[in-house]
Chain A
Amino acid sequence: MGVEGIGARVTRKEDKRFLTGKGRYTDDMTVPGMKYACFVRSPYAHAKIGDIDATAAKAMPGVIDVLDGKQLQADGIGNLICGWMIHSKDGSPMKMGAWHPLAVDTVRYVGDAIAIVVADSSGEARDAAEAVVIDYEQLPVVTEAVAALASGAPQIHPEAPGNLIFDWQIGEPDAVDEAIAAAAHVTEIEILNNRLSPNPMEPRATLGIYDTAEDHYTCYTTSQNPHVARLVMSAFYNVAPENKLRVIAPDVGGGFGSKIYIYPEEIICLWASKKTGVPVKWTSDRTEAFLTDAHGRDHASKVKMAFDANNHITALKVDTIANLGAYMSLFSSAVPTYLYATLLSGQYTIPAIHANVRTVYTNTVPVDAYRGAGRPEATYLLERTIETAARELGVSPAELRRTNFIRSFPYQTPVIMNYDAGDYEASLNAAMQAADWAGFAARRSQSEARGKKRGIGMSCYIEACGIAPSAAVGSLGAGVGLWESAEVRVNAVGTIEVLTGSHSHGQGHETTFAQLVAGRLGVPIESISIVHGDTDKVQMGMGTYGSRSGAVGMSAVVKALDKVEAKAKKIAAHLMEASEEDIVIENGELKVAGTDKSVPWFQVALASYTAHNLPSGMEPGLKETAFYDPSNFTFPAGCYIAEVEIDPDTGETDIVQFVAADDFGNIINPMIVEGQVHGGIAQGIGQALLENVQYDANGQLLTASYMDYAMPRADDLPSFTLSHQNTPCPSNPLGIKGCGEAGAIGSPPALINAITDAIGHNKLTMPATPMKVWQALHAAH
């Protein structure tokens, strides 16, 4: 490990600009003649819309135009789509209702966009938006998934009778039922996974620029995957052909999944720019973000876990209802299916698994991937169930997990996934030791002496990152491939640009990707720049989500580097009249092994561009591209332990310790990995104790600001005790598994297991607010 190579705690190159306020975000972009947009949004959760009268609005000061859905439709702009086809168990395709970027005849959630106002200033645009008069005929509303499936529930899309989008299954129902019938013990539990708002620090924004002379569009946007945005906007929404559409995602202030999707606003601002002849910028405010950014989770499940007489799990049966909101967002169908039910084996040998998943329309914001996407739902369900089983069986939660751990790899689960490597016991042992599990009983008595309730809980999670390979996901219904590309461009003086299709919006790629190159070539990290987020600069890419940038994005860089190195070695061998096989690259030099002959890196680069003296037939230049398609998912895993102390007077939970023991495979930058884990745990604690999106019966969002939506703050969190037990991932050249979501996946069940341990029973749902914990304690008395 070099000081700047793989494994080094290099401080983040990008932080200087972020910490000094010099980041360049979409809202910082201004171009000559730019105007501002405000969207007219539905105040009702479900209504027919009649006449849209913009006469008064158009006459207001500064207003350039007001455009509506009929005009958008007339111009041939397409409907928004869901990019992953799921078939119900009867073979029928999922029932996707139409999602018009601007509502045409019906609005289906509070915040549904109806018209766009373009004006000289954002204030004038807002004033005019309020003056647009719309005839609404209110319709009955349903916000909860279970209620939406009930007979007589309001019908939301004509395409989906009974609001059922699909009724999908995975696994072997008969084998599971037989195992349950034959079981020595069956644990049954109902699990609710609360609905969350992603809340990246930077709200969404977009700037659409139409260039009449070139008939060309530029879209600045807050995207995690600008190339996918371009692909979808041209292939499905008919905004413009790809060669006439440039998408730029500059600095992006966090995404957590919510900036994967292509939202109506991007499409509409591009279209509006052409219609009005001016560049159009829109920036969401915080309440608009609560109202329109895709939410996460919102599952209701029934679970049965069967055991034989030796406490081995024999079967798992899961019945889940998932709320997808008012429209199917881009990956909404994949999250509660292939990203969820395929992880239901957890870290355990479970011979038979069956999961049934029904997805449902409701009059709420669309629900899609949010940090963890499906895996937190699977982990919470499984780890709450096994903890409950341990209590019922009277064995320690650690013992029950040990009894059932998968111990040899590769391991084929009954739900598609093939785990390639792991050592679950190592993380369990490390976590228990770090948490002084053995000393818990004594700590509990001390708490009791002070009138407090103490509890401890664990969670052994597994997740799947770097979703792949493309052929496999294609066969499961994905509309895109899930590879990544990289170009390594060595300049004539030896400095290097790496163009990657991954996108950094907080992950620190400008540092970690540079570390990889610096380590391989031994050149200074300052001489390496990472270029991303612009479809005109970067060849192609699938973007960043699902903890895929390290495992997939960096692997593509490795492949491109392999090619660059091979060519550089040929040139060096030629220059030094040595054999290509004898050339090694070290400390910024190409050396002939075992001799003192060497040429510096920059000289080889220069030679490649002067082309005065290259091996015969070699093309000039030193620049290579690679596309990397992984052979498998990666499987990070670990064990988290939470210990809590509860004040029975108020129900307040104090997290007295939180231990995370993770297996992320090889680690590029431990400091960045720790930061990712800290952030993930903070979000997991948020889900477990604080955060909850709530609608009222009319579909009004009650939690539309931080006055009512409880985001975790620093003083809600303890210090975290972290460790790593890494087994390198065999399926990618760097042995990386991914670390971006683990914290959010592993932590909620550990906390709820700890709290239910403290209160002595299981009747508790997330978020475990002081009131709910107090009520649970009260009910137990």
Chain B
Amino acid sequence: MYATSYHRASSVEDAVKLKSANEEGKYLSGGMTLIATMKQRLAAPSDLIDLRHIPVLRGISIDGRKVTIGAATPHADVAASRELAAICPAICKLAGHIGDPHVRHMGTIGGSIANNDPAADYPAGLLGLGATIVTDRRSIRADDFFTGLFDTALEEGEMVTSVTFEAPEKAGYAKFNNPASRFAMTGVFVAKTAGGVRVAVTGAGSSGVFRHPGFEQALASNWSADALGSVAVDASNLMSDMHANAEYRANLVKVMAKRAVISAG
């Protein structure tokens, strides 16, 4: 790890100010990605601005069916929230299968979506739920937020403060683990929302998380795993790597989509 200066931000304003004062600095949330990258000397931020001690960033609040999750809320809190499980168990299940217990107690939803790893779970959840990402300066629809591999709509210095969504009528998530990393080799989130059926796929797309319109249409007319049987999955936009080629991923996309529908009930 290269030398760096640590700052503990006390408020969102404080954090944003610290960030703008240190151009080569980075926000630090759970550190599960950033610290590991720094240890490998692949990142060398001059400053780390720690967000985990800003009270408003941490916690889950529920107002009717409207859910708000603070950016610095660890995966374990989302997994364990009974209030959230009562209205959207699929997102709790998703969070409960990220990494291992250490990762779930440190890693946060804000860090995960800001990082937008193409094999991460939350991007599928938020895109599938049609969530809104709230930052220090604006609100961004999930459809506009995840722009590519490790790429998001966040501007320089922009900070995620929370994510919000309406609890869906139904939702389900099915993940096929990469045998080594246990990130999603393919993960599919399906949801029946007020705005219609949404299906989001992570771990498979060569430009990151994506929606699958074919599945969405099929499920809109017939919410059942069987409805997906005849829908084609185009392998040409899927990733091939040493763990899984595009053809196998295309198969997993369909199998996981069916399982997600079954788990949604």
Chain B hits for A287, CB < 8 A: 40
* Residue A650 interfacial (CB < 8 Å): yes
Q: Are A690 and B181 in contact (CB under 8 A)?
A: no
Q: Are A706 and B1 in contact (CB under 8 A)?
A: no
* Residue A79 interfacial (CB < 8 Å): no
Tally the A-B contacts, defined by beta carbons under 8 Å.
43
CB distance from B40 to the nearest CB of A (A): 7
CB distance from A255 to the nearest CB of B (A): 23
Q: Are A650 and B255 in contact (CB under 8 A)?
A: yes
Q: Which of A127, A649, A711, A769 sits near B243, CB closer than 8 Å?
A: A769
A56→B179 CA distance, assembly (Å): 43
Q: Are B180 and A710 in contact (CB under 8 A)?
A: yes
Q: Are B179 and A769 in contact (CB under 8 A)?
A: yes
Q: Are B252 and A650 in contact (CB under 8 A)?
A: yes
Chain A hits for B16, CB < 8 A: none
Q: Are A707 and B180 in contact (CB under 8 A)?
A: yes
Contact A706 to B244, CB < 8 A, known contacts A126-B41, A127-B2, A649-B255: no
Chain B hits for A720, CB < 8 A: none
* Residue A694 interfacial (CB < 8 Å): yes
Q: Which of A702, A703, A709, A774 sits near B248, CB closer than 8 Å?
A: A774
Chain B hits for A127, CB < 8 A: 2
Nearest CB to that of B183 among chain A residues?
A707
CB distance from A759 to the nearest CB of B (A): 15
Q: Are B242 and A774 in contact (CB under 8 A)?
A: no
A268-288 residues with Cβ-Cβ distance < 8 A to B are: 287
Nearest CB to that of B256 among chain A residues?
A650
Q: Are A706 and B180 in contact (CB under 8 A)?
A: yes
CB distance from B29 to the nearest CB of A (A): 20
A775→B244 CA distance, assembly (Å): 11
* Residue A708 interfacial (CB < 8 Å): yes
Of B179, B244, B245, B248, chain A has the most CB atoms within 10 Å of the CB of B179
* Residue B251 interfacial (CB < 8 Å): yes
* Residue A29 interfacial (CB < 8 Å): no
Chain A hits for B245, CB < 8 A: 771
CB distance from B2 to the nearest CB of A (A): 7
A709→B242 CA distance, assembly (Å): 10
A683-699 near B? 1/0 per residue, CB < 8 Å? 00000001000100000
* Residue B223 interfacial (CB < 8 Å): no
Chain A interface residue count, CB cutoff 8 Å, equals 23
B231-251 near A? 1/0 per residue, CB < 8 Å? 000000000001111001001
* Residue B3 interfacial (CB < 8 Å): yes
Q: Are B179 and A770 in contact (CB under 8 A)?
A: yes
A649→B245 CA distance, assembly (Å): 15
* Residue A140 interfacial (CB < 8 Å): no
* Residue B176 interfacial (CB < 8 Å): yes
Q: Which of A651, A707, A770 sits near B181, CB closer than 8 Å?
A: A707
* Residue A760 interfacial (CB < 8 Å): no
Contact A710 to B179, CB < 8 A, known contacts A287-B40, A771-B245: yes
Q: How many B residues are at the interface, by size bracket? A: 10 to 19
CB distance from B141 to the nearest CB of A (A): 31
* Residue A50 interfacial (CB < 8 Å): no
Chain A hits for B180, CB < 8 A: 690, 703, 706-711
CB distance from B117 to the nearest CB of A (A): 11
Chain A hits for B244, CB < 8 A: 771
Query: Chain B binding site: helix, strand, loop or mixed by DSSP?
Result: loop
Q: Are B242 and A694 in contact (CB under 8 A)?
A: yes
Chain A hits for B181, CB < 8 A: 706-708
A649→B254 CA distance, assembly (Å): 10
Nearest CB to that of A707 among chain B residues?
B181
Chain B hits for A771, CB < 8 A: 243-245, 248
CB distance from B238 to the nearest CB of A (A): 13
* Residue A123 interfacial (CB < 8 Å): yes
Q: Are A774 and B3 in contact (CB under 8 A)?
A: no
A702→B242 CA distance, assembly (Å): 8
A706→B103 CA distance, assembly (Å): 15
A130→B42 CA distance, assembly (Å): 13
A644-671 residues with Cβ-Cβ distance < 8 A to B are: 649-651
Chain A hits for B41, CB < 8 A: 126, 130
Chain A hits for B3, CB < 8 A: 123
Chain A hits for B255, CB < 8 A: 649-650
Q: Are A774 and B251 in contact (CB under 8 A)?
A: yes
Contact A123 to B1, CB < 8 A, known contacts A650-B252, A702-B242, A771-B248: yes
A130→B244 CA distance, assembly (Å): 34
A650→B175 CA distance, assembly (Å): 11
Nearest CB to that of A126 among chain B residues?
B41
Chain B hits for A706, CB < 8 A: 180-181
A703-733 near B? 1/0 per residue, CB < 8 Å? 1001111110000000000000000000000
A769→B252 CA distance, assembly (Å): 14
A775→B179 CA distance, assembly (Å): 16
A130→B242 CA distance, assembly (Å): 29
Chain A hits for B179, CB < 8 A: 690, 710, 769-770
Nearest CB to that of A702 among chain B residues?
B242
A619-650 residues with Cβ-Cβ distance < 8 A to B are: 649-650
CB distance from B34 to the nearest CB of A (A): 15
B176-208 residues with Cβ-Cβ distance < 8 A to A are: 176, 179-181
CB distance from A715 to the nearest CB of B (A): 10
Chain B hits for A775, CB < 8 A: 248
Nearest CB to that of A770 among chain B residues?
B179
Chain B hits for A710, CB < 8 A: 179-180
CB distance from A769 to the nearest CB of B (A): 6
A651→B249 CA distance, assembly (Å): 12
B1-49 residues with Cβ-Cβ distance < 8 A to A are: 1-3, 40-41
CB distance from B246 to the nearest CB of A (A): 11
A123→B244 CA distance, assembly (Å): 37
Q: Are B242 and A708 in contact (CB under 8 A)?
A: yes
Chain B hits for A708, CB < 8 A: 180-181, 242-243
A709→B176 CA distance, assembly (Å): 17
A328→B2 CA distance, assembly (Å): 36
Nearest CB to that of A123 among chain B residues?
B1
Nearest CB to that of A709 among chain B residues?
B180
B159-182 residues with Cβ-Cβ distance < 8 A to A are: 176, 179-181
A282-316 near B? 1/0 per residue, CB < 8 Å? 00000100000000000000000000000000000
Nearest CB to that of B254 among chain A residues?
A649
Chain B hits for A703, CB < 8 A: 180, 242
A651→B181 CA distance, assembly (Å): 18
Chain A hits for B243, CB < 8 A: 708, 769, 771
A710→B181 CA distance, assembly (Å): 7
Chain A hits for B252, CB < 8 A: 650
A287→B41 CA distance, assembly (Å): 12
A104→B220 CA distance, assembly (Å): 67
A126→B181 CA distance, assembly (Å): 27
Chain B hits for A651, CB < 8 A: 248
A220→B107 CA distance, assembly (Å): 37
B92-126 residues with Cβ-Cβ distance < 8 A to A are: none
Nearest CB to that of A652 among chain B residues?
B176
Chain B hits for A123, CB < 8 A: 1-3
A111-168 residues with Cβ-Cβ distance < 8 A to B are: 123, 126-127, 130
Q: Are B40 and A650 in contact (CB under 8 A)?
A: no
CB distance from B149 to the nearest CB of A (A): 15
A710→B176 CA distance, assembly (Å): 15
A720→B251 CA distance, assembly (Å): 32
CB distance from A203 to the nearest CB of B (A): 14
Nearest CB to that of B3 among chain A residues?
A123
Task: Please list the 9 inter-chain residue pairs (A to B) with the smallest Cβ-Cβ separation, ordered nearest first.
Answer: A710-B180, A710-B179, A707-B181, A771-B248, A649-B255, A771-B244, A708-B180, A694-B242, A690-B179
- 7 contacting pairs across A/B (C-beta < 8 A): A123-B3, A651-B248, A703-B242, A707-B181, A708-B181, A708-B242, A710-B180
Excluding A708-B242, A769-B243, 12 further A-B contacts by CB distance (< 8 Å) are A123-B1, A123-B3, A127-B2, A703-B242, A707-B180, A707-B181, A710-B179, A711-B180, A769-B179, A771-B244, A774-B251, A775-B248
* Chain A residues in the interface with B (C-beta under 8 A): 123, 126-127, 130, 287, 649-651, 690, 694, 702-703, 706-711, 769-771, 774-775
